[in-house]
Amino acid sequence: MAKLRGFTLIELLVVLALVVIVTGLVTVRFVGSVQERSLEQYVREMSAYLRFLQFKAIEDGNVLKIFFNEETKEVESMKLEKESQREDGRKNKKKEFVPMKTPFSQKANGNKDFGIRLKSGDEIYFFPDGSVTKNTVIISDQVDERATIEIKNRLGLFKVNFNEKTPY
């Protein structure tokens, strides 16, 4: 019997298919991680989150606020506590804001690639009638690219600007 050497066509196709699958998975994973860290994607998510908070305030009939901590680069969402009780069991007349966990605030707090601050004040309020306090959210990345989300009026008209060169 003659000794056979080399690969059969099926073995070659199986190896080639495995290489293509691994390359495809690596490429998809890489593109996803780059897209996750892009400024444009983050700004889109932030403007969608601001709109979500506006609708959440309407739906719940409650006042919500978002707070941007510039030092820790954390985003905190809070809601006005409807009724609270004191230790003695009586109702507390003073209403306070309590933290509200949302998927975006948790995701944003895990992402330290972007700095977020407000042009004026430290908070944006969302009211049950749909109105929003006017302000400008400034988002910058580590290479000094900047974008702004401007809340133009109390009805919540958002305007997004990329590569904003105006110093704030």
132, 156 contact by CB (below 8 A): yes
pLDDT in tens, 158-168: 888 887 554 44
Give the 3-state secondary structure of residue 127.
coil
pLDDT in tens, 54-83: 999 999 899 999 888 767 767 888 888 876
* Long-range CB contacts for residues 153-161, cutoff 8 Å, separation at least 24: 155/130, 155/131, 156/50, 156/51, 156/54, 156/130, 156/131, 156/132, 158/47, 158/50, 158/51, 160/43, 160/47
Instruction: Delineate the domains of the chain, giving CATH numbers in brackets.
Output: 35-162 (3.55.40.10)
